[in-house]
Structures are given as C-alpha cells and as structure tokens.
Chains A and B, each alone.
Chain A
Amino acid sequence: MPGKGYHLATWFRLTPALLGLLVFVLVGAASLAALLRFSQFESWSGYLHNIYLWRVVRFSLWQALLSSVLSLLIAVPVASCLTHRQFKGRGVLLQLFAVSMVVPTIVAILGIVVVYGHSGWLHALFGVETPLYGLLGILLAHVFFNMPLAVRLLLQSYGLVPSGQWRLASQLGFSRWTAFRLIEWSYIKKALPGAFVLIFMLCFSSFSVVLSLGGGPKSSTLEVAIYQALRFDFDLNKASFLSLLQVSICSLVALMVYRFAPANQQDVSLLDARLYPLKDSILALFGDCLAMALAVFLVIPPFLAIFDPIFSVTFYQTLMADATWQAVWVSLKIAIPAALLSLFLGGCFGVLARMTMDRGRLAFLSSKIEQLGSMILMVPGLVLATGLFLWLRSIGLSSLSGYWVVVWVNAVMALPFVLRALMPVLYQQEKRFRNLYTSLGIHGANRLVIEWPLIRKSVSQAFGYAVLLSLGDMGVIALFGSQGLVSLPLYLFQLIGSYRLQEGSCIAVILICLCLLLFYLSVRFIGGKTHVKY
C-alpha cells in the first residue's frame, strides 16, 4: 500500500532510526576518507611490481583454497553420515561442532598449539614432530573452524530433501552411494558454492590464525600484511592499497562462484522430515567410520587440550595474577558497550527495513538496508579501525580514541550477525500486524512494547552473538592494544607467542567461561524464561 495513506508523520517517527543509520554511514565514510587522504595513488603502481606482495597474495589465495576445499571434502561425507546414522555421541558431536564455530579463534589456536606444537600431545604420544608453524598449522586451524561450519551448512540442505525421496529410495533399495549420487548430490551441489565462498572468504581474510601460526613472512596473508603495514611501518598508503586489493579479490571470487552456481529451488513436500532405512553395506560403514574418525580427530583434541594444564601450579598463579583480572575488565569494558551499540544499530536498520518492506517504490530499500549492514564483511576490520582512528585524530579526539575505535569497530563487525538474528522475526511481525497497527494507530516505541514478548528471544540471541564476537576479537585490539588496553584474547595471543601455554590455558578457560556466562545471562535475562507461543 504505497503512497497516500502513509503520512509524513510516520516518517517523522522514524527519525531516531534514520539518525542511527546516518551515523553508521557517516562514520564509515569519514573513516574511508581519512584513510584515502593518506594514500598516494601514484605510488600504487609501484606495489604492483613488488615481488613480496605478490607472494603474499598468492599464499593468501592458496591457503584459502586449500582450507575451503579440505573443509568441504571432509564435511560432505560427515554430513551424509550424520544424516543417515544414529549413534551414541551424535548429539554431543553436533553440539561440539556448533561450539567450535563460536569459540574465540585465539582459544582454539592455543588448543592446536598444545596438540600439535613442539612437545605437544602428538609429539609426546607418538613422537611425531609436526612442522606446525606455516601452511600446516594454518590449514589445521582453518579446518578446525570451518569443517564444522560446512557440515552445518550441508545439513541444512539435507533438511531440504523431501522425506518422500528417502521413502522412495528405501522401497527401491538404494545403497548409500546411489542415494548420494541420485538424491543428496543434487541438493548439496546447490549449497556447495555458497559454502565454498563463505569459507574461502573467512580463510582469505583470516588474521589471528595466520598471525599466530604463520610463523614468518613466508606464509603471510594480505590481512596480516595490512596489520604489519599499520603496526610496524605505519604505512597508511600501503595499508589502504592492500585493503583495496583484499576487497577486490574477495568480490571477484564471490562473483565468479555465484555465476556458475546452480539456482536454488525448493521442493515442497507434504511429509514431515523423516528418514527411512537405506541398504547398508560394509563399504558404506567403512566410509562413514573413516569420515567420522577424521572429523573427530581434527575437532576434539584441541578442545580437550585447552584444559590440559588446568591442574598445574602456574594455572592457579595465573588465576590470581592482577594482569589476568585487568584483562577481564578490559574485555568486559569493550564487549558490553560494543554489543549494546551493535544491537542499537541493528534495531535502527531493522526498523527502517521493516518499514520499507512491501511499500511500493520503497520496497527495494529493505534488502538494500540489510545489505548495507552486512557489507562490513567485505571490509577488513583493521582498515576500518585505522581510518576511524585517523579521522578521530584529525578532529581532535585522539586522547580517548583507541578504546572507542575498538568498541565501534567491534560493534560494526557484529552487525551482520545481529541483523541475521533480528530481521526474520521483525519482518514476520510487520507482515502479520502492519494493517492492525495502522488501523489502531500504534506507532514507534508502542510497537516495541507490544512485540517485546515475541521478539525478545531474537534480541537476546543477537546480543549474545555480538558479545561473543567482541569478546573473542583479536584483530582490532591487536592493532590498538597498548599497555592499558590488553583484552583477554590479546593477552592470550601474547602468551602463546612466548610459548607460555600453561598461563595461556588459564586465560583461555577464563575467556570461555566469560563467553558462556555472558551468553547465558543474555539469553536468560533478555530472552526471558517463559516461552511465548505465537
């Protein structure tokens, strides 16, 4: 219902949301402008002939390609096995997979170092010396994070297979391989390009992993090169060139893969999701066992390793140390304001998107607003932070800038996830009640009050994700962290760097507990304990 019925007053009520959006856009633009002011475009052509730079680009692409292909190669049989077989520990494994995606990167890196590093578990148990630092370490860490992610994405597309197909396959006596070839593959292949792009991007712009496990200039990625240009050379020109390169390569890969991706179409089925038994064979069982063993071997040991030094003296000494609690305080001081800010921005985006939804000529805006919020995924956080820092300095706010830059960039980086948690329920409310609201004259904050019981669960989840991401962030803080501003992840990074793993383990455990606690509190107090039916 475009036009007439929609008064100026209604738009007036959107002012706060519009202001939020405006601040987001302006700060982004100002940061970018500040960065570009320090760029000398004439010198950029010189970088194109820089051999080291091209090696970094090549390595970035190569490790991202290997990481995503490996993750997917393992994930496909694992997802198939998890779909078809019920076994003890299946539920626990799925939960572990979910956890491994949100566990702070640096914590997992600690686990990997404890398992695979010098004098690590692998060395102690089998005498195997793994050349962890370099490509191998990077791949191990990337597969640890992204194989479970790939499994989850694939399981989603398994969920799209109508039960009727399994039923038919069961009656026709399909073997597991036949079912994979004729049924599963045609669903998986629609999800694979998307999963590939996502994992490729994540690995391509991977920062903490490469910084901790890369082990030198031989295996550096663009993201790390940006960090080095900023932190050690303070070469803004080079940094902005590198980030532009990074953004262009990411966009190019995404464009290429989506071009060749088959269109996603959903089949409808009248049946509930159900599985029916397929013909089993020794070969199928063997394949399943192999895939699961590989997955379990890659994912579980690093988890356990974090808790390895928990009974040592150093662990308790660290627990009592001032530096530890100082880092806890810094982490909280960053994560909570960042999450609140992210939630506020998400709310502004959400309100605007739902107001423009299905509104004639404005309808296209709702998806654009959402995309604007997610665009941040393409821009390296380091670059954004540097731009913001320069801008704040140029307008004379340098004294408090470090802290606020970290908060703002963390908030903005969590925004895509906040939007993802918030938007579906906001759209749904708008769709169901728009006409009722209009006819009763319910506007603005009054709607929030009415909808709160229905949306609080999503809000709590959005806030929880934002807190988790900010608590675990190791990118921006690495750039701006100084004596007074060392968060738990940065502290952990420093400890791993000097191979003080027992102290690191203490910090990791505290960080995990803090994540769990804040997520629980968010779900419990924002989400509420009563289930509201709707």
Chain B
Amino acid sequence: MLSIDLYYDWDAFHAHYQTSLAPGMTTLLGASGEGKSTLLHLLGGFLQGRGSVSFQGQALEHLLPYERPISTLFQSDNLFPQLTVWQNVAVGIAPSLSLQAEQKAKVSWALKQTQLSDKADQYPQALSGGQAQRVAIARVLVREKPILLLDEPFSALDPALREEMLALVNDVTERFGMTTLLVSHMPSEAVFVGGKVMLIEKGKIMANEEASVLSGGRIPEAFSHYLRMTIAS
C-alpha cells in the first residue's frame, strides 16, 4: 500500500495530495496545469514538499531519489543518448556498468521481454519513439522496484502504438505485482488499462473510482464535468 499525504506550495499553487494506492494500475486524470506531474515529481523525490509518504509502512519522504523503491518513465529524456540500448538497460542494475553473468542474463531477458534483443548494440538515436520507450520499460523490469510512475511517457506516440505500450505496462504491472501510477489527460487510457482512476484538480484529488465507471452508464459527478471539458476541447 502506498500512502500519500503531501503538500506542495509554489506561488499561488497550493497542492495537497491525500490518498492511498493499492497494487495495480491507477490512472491520474486531469487537465494540464492541475498538478499531475507535480505529484509524480514529489513521489520521485525530485521536488521537495511537506507531509509524508510511505510504502508498506516504510517512510519515503526523507529518502533521496535513488533510495526510493520507485522507477519512473518520464515524458522525455528517459534514455542516455551516449549509451547503447544494452547499456541503457544495464545502468538500471549497476550504474558502473560492470555486470556479473547473471545480471547480464537479466538484461538480455528484459530486452527479450520488450522485443528489443536485436537492438541491443544500437544507440537511442537509431530507435523509433516506441522502441525508445520500450528500452525504458526494459530498465524498469531489471530494476525490480515495486512502484512505477508514468508521466505521460507515450503521449508522443500514435494511438495504436500507445495502446500497445499501455498493454505492455499493464502486463508488467500485473505480472510483478507493481503499484503503478499513470498520468494521463485521456479518459480513454484509463478505461483501456483498467484499475483505478483518480481526478486531480488544482492540486487536490477530487475523485477516486474504479476505472470502469468512465465507460459505465452513470458517470460520477466529479468526472462528468472534466469529461465534458475534454470532449469539448
């Protein structure tokens, strides 16, 4: 269980995030500027907020980014352009890049899981957008961190590819029992991956429901306003 009770202030923006997440997929919906990414940056330790956050009883708020049990897929800059695909995955196990045989096997396994075995020696520049994000997912696999944060990492991909990626993330989450938080501004993505869905407005979590409610007949009031806005724009 990931319990969150975090405050963050920046100029006129006052956020207070309070919720707990069970293992499985949770989609964070909200318009841009409402504080979705801020929450992920707070969880990752990239922004300093107040309050507490704990995972299975362990407090995380005082830990540095690399000490937290978290992997993140950012919107961009997930790969080091100066490292090969294989190295980009391997830094997830050992930043020094000196790996033992079983660790090397693990990298190969992760590349196979993400269908990148034949790209191992290439540099990120040679990859398509989808392939690049799959490399980042391969690194998530080798890192074995129980929490996965996704900050709209697939927003630049075309719809078919995006669904493919979401399916991959969904699969990984299920197989390894991860607690996955997906930031999105598309309700359809929440419906696609299932699990829970939350709505963020002005730095507050306004609703927390099963994702299926979005496709059901009776949409909760908090979401209906947001959905109308999304469809209108």
Establish whether residues A269 and B65, one from each chain, have CB atoms under 8 Å apart when the complex forms.
no
Of the candidate stretches A67-75, A141-149, A270-278, the one touching chain B is A270-278
**Within the assembled complex, what's the spacing in Å between the Cα atoms of A168 and B78?**
7
Give chain A's interface secondary structure class.
helix
**Within the assembled complex, what's the spacing in Å between the Cα atoms of A350 and B174?**
64
B76 part of interface (Cβ distance < 8 Å): yes
Chain B residues positioned under 8 Å from A169 (CB to CB): 95
Chain A residues positioned under 8 Å from B45 (CB to CB): 170-171
A165 part of interface (Cβ distance < 8 Å): yes
Chain B residues positioned under 8 Å from A171 (CB to CB): 44-45, 65-66, 68, 70-72
Given contacts A165-B80, A171-B71, A183-B80, A178 and B66 within 8 Å (CB-CB): no
Given contacts A164-B76, A172-B66, A267 and B81 within 8 Å (CB-CB): yes
- Partner of B96 from A167, A178, A277 at Cβ < 8 Å: A178
Measured CB to CB, the closest approach of chain A to B41, in angstroms, equals 9
Closest chain B residue to A280 by CB distance?
B64
Establish whether residues B80 and A170, one from each chain, have CB atoms under 8 Å apart when the complex forms.
no
**Within the assembled complex, what's the spacing in Å between the Cα atoms of A172 and B92?**
6
B97 part of interface (Cβ distance < 8 Å): yes
Chain B residues positioned under 8 Å from A270 (CB to CB): 75-77
Chain A residues positioned under 8 Å from B78 (CB to CB): 164, 168
Chain B window 39-50, contacts with chain A (Cβ cutoff 8 Å), 1 for yes, 0 for no:
000001110000
**Within the assembled complex, what's the spacing in Å between the Cα atoms of A172 and B89?**
11
Chain A residues positioned under 8 Å from B66 (CB to CB): 170-174, 279
Given contacts A167-B46, A168-B80, A183-B80, A175 and B95 within 8 Å (CB-CB): yes
**Within the assembled complex, what's the spacing in Å between the Cα atoms of A277 and B63?**
11
Establish whether residues A167 and B74, one from each chain, have CB atoms under 8 Å apart when the complex forms.
yes
Given contacts A277-B65, A279-B66, A172 and B95 within 8 Å (CB-CB): yes
Tally of B interface residues using CB under 8 Å: 26
Measured CB to CB, the closest approach of chain A to B138, in angstroms, equals 14
Chain A residues positioned under 8 Å from B227 (CB to CB): none
Establish whether residues B76 and A182, one from each chain, have CB atoms under 8 Å apart when the complex forms.
no
**Within the assembled complex, what's the spacing in Å between the Cα atoms of A167 and B65?**
9
**Considering the complex, which residues of chain A in the window 168-195 have a beta carbon less than 8 Å from any beta carbon of chain B?**
168-175, 178, 182-183, 186
B82 part of interface (Cβ distance < 8 Å): yes
Establish whether residues A170 and B96, one from each chain, have CB atoms under 8 Å apart when the complex forms.
no
Measured CB to CB, the closest approach of chain A to B143, in angstroms, equals 8
B91 part of interface (Cβ distance < 8 Å): yes
**Within the assembled complex, what's the spacing in Å between the Cα atoms of A267 and B74?**
16
Give the size range of A's interface with the partner. Answer: 20 to 34
A318 part of interface (Cβ distance < 8 Å): no
Chain B residues positioned under 8 Å from A182 (CB to CB): 80, 82-83, 91, 95, 97
Measured CB to CB, the closest approach of chain B to A167, in angstroms, equals 6
Given contacts A164-B76, A182-B97, A170 and B81 within 8 Å (CB-CB): no
Chain A residues positioned under 8 Å from B71 (CB to CB): 171
A163 part of interface (Cβ distance < 8 Å): yes
Given contacts A162-B77, A164-B78, A165-B80, A178 and B65 within 8 Å (CB-CB): no
**Within the assembled complex, what's the spacing in Å between the Cα atoms of A162 and B78?**
11
**Considering the complex, which residues of chain A in the window 248-279 have a beta carbon less than 8 Å from any beta carbon of chain B?**
267, 269-271, 276-277, 279
**Within the assembled complex, what's the spacing in Å between the Cα atoms of A186 and B83?**
10
Establish whether residues B70 and A186, one from each chain, have CB atoms under 8 Å apart when the complex forms.
no
**Within the assembled complex, what's the spacing in Å between the Cα atoms of A173 and B63?**
12
Chain A residues positioned under 8 Å from B81 (CB to CB): 267
Establish whether residues A170 and B64, one from each chain, have CB atoms under 8 Å apart when the complex forms.
yes
Closest chain B residue to A279 by CB distance?
B66
Chain B residues positioned under 8 Å from A163 (CB to CB): 77
Establish whether residues B82 and A186, one from each chain, have CB atoms under 8 Å apart when the complex forms.
yes
Chain B residues positioned under 8 Å from A276 (CB to CB): 46, 65
**Within the assembled complex, what's the spacing in Å between the Cα atoms of A175 and B92?**
13
- Partner of B64 from A175, A178, A277 at Cβ < 8 Å: A277
Establish whether residues A269 and B46, one from each chain, have CB atoms under 8 Å apart when the complex forms.
no
Closest chain B residue to A183 by CB distance?
B80
**Within the assembled complex, what's the spacing in Å between the Cα atoms of A175 and B68?**
16
**Within the assembled complex, what's the spacing in Å between the Cα atoms of A277 and B48?**
12
Closest chain B residue to A277 by CB distance?
B64
**Within the assembled complex, what's the spacing in Å between the Cα atoms of A174 and B143?**
14
Closest chain B residue to A173 by CB distance?
B66
Chain A residues positioned under 8 Å from B83 (CB to CB): 182
Chain B residues positioned under 8 Å from A165 (CB to CB): 77, 80
**Within the assembled complex, what's the spacing in Å between the Cα atoms of A205 and B46?**
48
Write the residues of chain B forming the contact surface with A, with a CB cutoff of 8 angstroms: 44-46, 64-68, 70-72, 74-78, 80-83, 91-92, 95-97, 143
* 5 A-B pairs whose Cβ atoms sit less than 8 Å apart in the complex: A162-B77, A171-B66, A175-B96, A182-B91, A267-B81
Instruction: Known A-B contacts: A168-B78, A175-B96. Give 12 more (CB < 8 A).
Output: A164-B74, A167-B46, A170-B46, A171-B68, A171-B70, A171-B71, A173-B67, A174-B95, A175-B95, A178-B95, A183-B80, A270-B75
| List of 4 A-B pairs having minimum Cβ-Cβ separation, nearest first | A164-B77, A173-B66, A186-B82, A170-B65
